[in-house]
Structure 1
């Protein structure tokens, strides 16, 4: 059962911040040093200064900046409690999609009511916990999925598409984000009632969700009280229907580096025992084969050593028995599992420790960029993947399992800085 609540959202004051494009950002975990620098240069009020500051004592500095911005009405609080209808218009190739969701507060659930599909790491959780301790605010959203095959919730909101948005902004990839404030009590009540029937699945924000749970426990251990819906029992979330055609999942491709004594012929001889190996002279032909065989376990493969583009297609399913029995059959048959367990670990010795330490593998969204980097940088090879499906995410999460790292890319990301939540805590 999903309990969701309208809230008094905080957002930038358009009377003082004229261009939202100058102040919103990608989620914190997508911001590298170069992007952080670019965001800093855009505006003295860019949200990066709160979520990923460069200054010493950056957590306390973020808290002081947030308070100052609120006092100076750079960021303002809506007077009415609301849900916020949030759409994202984007392209995958030449195809246009509109992803629809609503922003609200969701009740935190440490049990089976909220299901995850990724493992979390201690470093990011500690970082986000320090930030929420200092600021007592939610900046980035948890990207939550729910199932609604009849699209009943989105149908309640579609009329807003014909009304002026509260604000709109474009992200770094030129995708258009729009937000409307929903204060109609009838619509709010219907959304809350329909969401009570739902199970929630974390698409993005596993570290933020676990951090919220950790902060909640910490507050309770101190004897603090969660006041109203904006207290520490709830967390800022965007809820998106997993059955809506506007939801797309992209692949995340792998780039290899630092493999000692990497030999293409030896690798291909090993792979040929378990995979059919097809060779193409053009990347477009490799892409076409991958796109036409999404139901199969196929991987594009290109090395720096030669000009051929290859596809590895699983032919020996018995090799899946080498994956430990603690994993389900569905988990073993995931394409990313086969890549990680059979190819990367089995053939190349890139085990979970190497993945955690990021010693041999980088990740990249676009396949053209992955292949281009073979020429530009010291990468040895690229693996090109097909996307994981939403059904696979749901299935693995339902079984309580966690997918390998970077198995999904829910594109585009939810922007940080559109709607914030300030926690109400009694100490």
Structure 2
């Protein structure tokens, strides 16, 4: 069950750091070299120096920066614990949404209480473990979903949101992020009690959650003790109601490259064995069909060598039996499962080994951007997907299964640097 705790966050001192937009960042795993350079140039206090530094010994450098910023009061700690209400105002396809949640410390647990839907890799976990060893701090959030069909918890948060926000920043996509601090003991107690009967589902941050568990075990094995709530037994998380209309999941589209002897006509002939194929003169017509058929298994496709845009509509459910038996029926029917196991693996030879090696496939968020990328010499074709639903995420996690990589894009991401959790440990 979900146990959540108020904490005393470290935050940027706005008397010394006037423009918070210059110091907060996207999550570390969304920062490429170009974005990293931009963050470095924006401010000497940008949190990229802590989460993804350029220095050769970047973990120790992060620890030095953190210590100095605290000493110089660039970062200051709140004196009273609380929950931090976090809203994000954003647009998808011209429609405006507000996603509401709260940042708090969540108790780490293994098993039924916290459910995952993505497979983790050793490299990122080792990287994040080295960082937490050096800094003894949590910078990035774990994006946790819970179910609250009556929206009771968000209704409690809204009471505080009538006041002016403590923090307000825009990210690179012009999404507005706001933070309020909730210190009301009565409201905190009520929220804690309502959360206790909830299961949690990791939306983003699978590697960070596994790292937190690994670090907790490491600390216990060393005989270290937790010094209060802000310790290795808890992790900085943001909790968001999966039943709230402000939550949207975006698809991640696929760009194909490096496929030897790719022949469009031969590929279409293979596809026709299990899919009906429709062709459109424009991308907008293809989009219209995809948008009108989100309940069906439909895939947009555009090859560099053809002017037409295609939609593949899945028809042959018997072929799903070729997917490994260990997976549930629900898993096999996922759009991304059909894409990876049939369209990519069976027809194009892009198997799990190729995916792990990150060959033949790039991932991209927006469909217009995906199609525009076909103008580059690198790419041969693009697959345009509909989004995975939150219901599907919950189902697969409840079955204890892991979705294919890049199945979900919970947009916008939770910014790093709005609130920081420094650990207190007795050694």
TM-score grouping bracket, smaller chain normalisation: over 0.9
Q: Corresponding residue for 1:279?
A: 279
How is 1:160-309 mapped onto 2 (pairs within 5 angstroms)? 160-309=160-309
- Residue 377 of structure 1 deviates from its aligned partner by 3.7
Q: Secondary structure at the match of 1:187?
A: helix
Q: Secondary structure at the match of 1:394?
A: helix
**Residue 100 (structure 2) pairs with residue 97 (structure 1):** no
Q: Corresponding residue for 2:76?
A: 76
Q: Distance in 2 between matches of 1:393 and 1:111?
A: 17
Q: Corresponding residue for 1:312?
A: 312
Q: Corresponding residue for 1:122?
A: 122
Q: Secondary structure at the match of 1:362?
A: strand
Q: Corresponding residue for 2:421?
A: 421
- Residue 161 of structure 1 deviates from its aligned partner by 2.4
- Residue 159 of structure 1 deviates from its aligned partner by 2.1
How is 1:33-182 mapped onto 2 (pairs within 5 angstroms)? 33-182=33-182
Q: Secondary structure at the match of 1:383?
A: strand
CA deviation digits over 1:268-321, x for unaligned, max 9? 000000000000000000000000000000000000011100000001111111
TM-score (norm 1): 0.99
- Residue 227 of structure 1 deviates from its aligned partner by 1.3
Q: Distance in 2 between matches of 1:351 and 1:106?
A: 37
- Residue 110 of structure 1 deviates from its aligned partner by 1.5
Structure 2 gaps of 5+ residues are none
- Residue 324 of structure 1 deviates from its aligned partner by 1.1
Q: Secondary structure at the match of 1:413?
A: coil
Q: Distance in 1 between matches of 2:204 and 2:418?
A: 17
Q: Secondary structure at the match of 2:255?
A: strand
How is 1:329-368 mapped onto 2 (pairs within 5 angstroms)? 329-368=329-368
CA deviation digits over 1:2-57, x for unaligned, max 9? 00000001110000000001000000000000000000000000000000000111
TM-score (norm 2): 0.99
Root mean square deviation, CA, Å: 0.5
- Residue 152 of structure 1 deviates from its aligned partner by 0.5
Q: Distance in 2 between matches of 1:151 and 1:241?
A: 7
Q: Distance in 2 between matches of 1:357 and 1:230?
A: 38
Q: Distance in 2 between matches of 1:324 and 1:352?
A: 12
Q: Distance in 2 between matches of 1:347 and 1:229?
A: 52
Runs of 4+ in 1 over 4 A off after TM superposition: none
Q: Distance in 2 between matches of 1:368 and 1:357?
A: 26
Q: Secondary structure at the match of 1:157?
A: helix
Q: Distance in 2 between matches of 1:396 and 1:228?
A: 35
Equivalenced residue count is 427
- Residue 73 of structure 1 deviates from its aligned partner by 0.4
Q: Distance in 2 between matches of 1:81 and 1:258?
A: 53
Q: Corresponding residue for 2:412?
A: 412
- Residue 376 of structure 1 deviates from its aligned partner by 2.4
- Residue 58 of structure 1 deviates from its aligned partner by 0.3
